[in-house]
Amino acid sequence: MTYENTITFAQNADQADPLRKWRSEFHFPQINGRDAYYFTGNSLGLQPKRTRGFIEEEMKKWETYGVEGHFVPKERPWMKFHEASKKALAKIVGAKPLEVVSMNNLSVNLHLLMVSFYRPTAERFKIICEAGAFPSDQYMFESQLKFHGQDVDKALIELAPRPGENTLKTEDIISAIEEHKNELALVIFGGLQYYSGQLFDMKSITAAGHQAGAFVGFDLAHAAGNVPLHLHDWDVDFATWCSYKYLNSGPGNVSGIFVHERFAEDNSIPRFAGWWGHNENERFLMQKGFQPMPGADGWQLSNVNVIGTAAHLASLEIFEEVGMEALRKKSLQLTGYLEFIIDQLSGEEKLFEIITPRNPEERGAQLSIFFHKNGKQLFDYLVEQGVIGDWREPNVIRIAPAPLYNSFEDVYHFGRLLKEAIAKYAHG
């Protein structure tokens, strides 16, 4: 696709877009009496219009059946509600249905998975992660290490980009794994770095971690529903994600986990157990002695939050209808167009720069723009004009054109408004 910074090009590209109809499936916030230019699907995805119907269906079951809603309805009885999302989630993350389940929230799930896969010994106790991981992950790593009596400064290896660079090189990650291999217990990264937008080479990192004798896991908060994932084929041990970003399932909604099938029947793995992870054939016998369900289901704690999961299912239905391959194809084009426009506006003065990788295969639907001065003023102007983006201290604007509902015309207007902001504030 040969880009042009014109409204005509953007409108023609939208007309030729095979996914253009899906935009009408979403509610857009209103600013100044019109649809906002919404570029924060990496923080909270828009609400699908079908979500209300899915929730209302479960409300009607509750109204009609009361507690019998767990058993009576033929369509998604609550006892089996966690199974309804497996097929779609497996496709999104590249897994088998046995390997995935939706449950809890991301931070809870990462703690639960680290109980199982961070098992330090006197010889192997170190964790390797990226420096500047999302704060919740940082807190979890620190608290898990302290829980096991480890010295955080010695046990946590945080990898930063080389001086003067914004992203990590895969060879540096693999080199660090090799360097610490005799003491390494766990390698854990965000699949896609929230600040820089870098998509990590999860296949290579997993292979290197396993070669070193460590478990390997990923926080896929910014990757699930955004980029192609092949967790099973990459041989990843475990992963977790949230559903409220690119998966458009609603604020704070249900998370999901992946546990590779090689652990499906391994009852020796330590875990914090709950009754919903217990053998479902004996769950209501109320007896002692935890017997985990096979696969990811064995990590469940509690029965499903039906109302929240109903909203999740509404969005997953859309992903089933569209498919990740089609989404990725449009995402590459849409993010490429955004990159083209930003480069044009930066100009010779280099007022700002993209810190997200230039290689489309090393990023998703997000570009992080680093402003050398007056970034907050420019951002505030964009907000006033109807752009919903994301400001990150000290001076980065994250813009994420989600292919399900963003258009080429959205991207064009972002560029138009950024040009106005530059004229108004860049030299102030």
DSSP structure string for 184-243: EEEEEEESB-TTT-BBP-HHHHHHHHHHTT-EEEEE-TTTTTTS---HHHHT--EEEE-S
**Confidence at residue 428, expressed as pLDDT on a 0 to 100 scale:** 61
Burial class of residue 392 in the structure, from the number of CB atoms within 10 Å of its CB (0-12 exposed, 13-18 middle, 19+ buried)? middle
Name the pLDDT band for 286 (thresholds 50, 70, 90): confident
DSSP class of residue 395 equals T
Q: What is the pLDDT of residues 156-180, one digit of tens each?
A: 999 999 999 999 999 999 999 999 9
Residue 69 confidence (pLDDT): 95
Percent of the chain having pLDDT more than 70?
Answer: 99
Domains and CATH numbers, the chain: 7-35+324-425 (3.90.1150.10), 54-321 (3.40.640.10)
What is the overall mean pLDDT for the chain?
A: 96
pLDDT in tens, 179-198: 999 999 999 999 999 999 99
Query: If you average pLDDT over residues 217-222, what whole number do you get?
Result: 98
Instruction: Check residue 1 and give its pLDDT.
Output: 87
Torsion of CA 197, 172, 203, 118, to 10 degrees: -90
Confidence bin at 135 (pLDDT 50/70/90): confident
pLDDT computed for residue 373 by the predictor: 85
Whole-prediction pTM: 0.96
Q: 348: pLDDT confidence band, cut at 50, 70 and 90? A: low
Q: Tell whether the model's pLDDT for residue 62 goes beyond 70.
A: yes
Residue 277: CB partners within 8 Å, gap ≥ 6? 271, 290, 292, 293, 297, 298, 299, 300, 301
Average pLDDT over residues 20-40: 96
- The tokens describing 20, both together, are 């253009």
**372-423 pLDDT per residue, tens:** 888 899 999 999 999 999 999 989 999 999 999 999 999 999 999 999 999 9
Average pLDDT over residues 282-287: 86
